Amino acid sequence: MTRDEILGIAALASIDEMFSWRSPSAKQYRDRRGQLSDDELIDLMLAEPRLIRRPILIVGKKVLFGFNAEEYRKVISGK
């Protein structure tokens, strides 16, 4: 994923939502949550793609991170 792609998604949701805070790769950054800037989080995600929450579902102007079958059904069905 490129910086431009991340910024495009960030127009729909926050960088903090996109960052995979529960990933084992993020363990060393958890105590700095809320202190790291969006640019710093983006740099970390670009250096370590496992820090990007996946899957990412974008439907119109709605974005979902991670898999939740019920939320996917709601978004896809428009309800």
**pTM of the predicted model, to two decimals?**
0.89
pLDDT of residue 45: 98
CATH number of the domain to which 26 belongs: 3.40.30.10
- pLDDT tens by residue, the chain, 79 residues: 999 999 999 999 999 999 999 999 999 999 999 999 999 999 999 999 999 999 999 998 889 999 999 999 998 888 6
Tokens of 17: 């939502």
Domain hosting 51: range is: 3-77
Quote the number of domains for the chain: 1
Buried b (16+ CB within 10 A) or exposed e, 46-65: eeeeebbbeebbeeeeebbb
